[in-house]
Amino acid sequence: MVSDQPASYDPRVALRVIGDALRSHPDLNMVISPWDDMTRGAEQAITAAGKTPGKDVRIYSTGATKLGVERPF
C-alpha cells in the first residue's frame, strides 16, 4: 500500500489526494475508490499526471452506480 487517505466522498478531495499520491509515488498503478463520484476526481488526477486511467493506473470503484459500472476502468 502506498497511501490510504480519506477523500470524504468528494471528487475534489480525491483529485488532490490521488494527485499527491502520484507525485510521491509516480509508479503507482492502482487506485481503489469507495464511491464512483470520487473516482471522477481520481481519473482527473491520473490524467493530469500524464497517465492513462485504466491502462497506466487501474481504478477499482466499489460504488457500483450506473455511471460507475459503465466506466471502462
Residue ranges of domains in the chain: 11-64
Determine the pLDDT at residue 53: 94
- Tell me the residue type at 15: L
Eight-class DSSP state of 57:
B
Report how far apart, in Å, the C-alpha atoms of 10 and of each of 26, 27, 55 are. 23, 24, 24
The rounded mean pLDDT for the chain is 87
Distance CA 52, CA 68 (A): 17
User: Mean of the pLDDT values across residues 22-39?
Assistant: 91
* Res 27 pLDDT > 90: yes
User: Mean of the pLDDT values across residues 45-54?
Assistant: 96
User: Mean of the pLDDT values across residues 39-56?
Assistant: 95
Give the confidence band of 23 by pLDDT, cuts at 50, 70, 90: very high
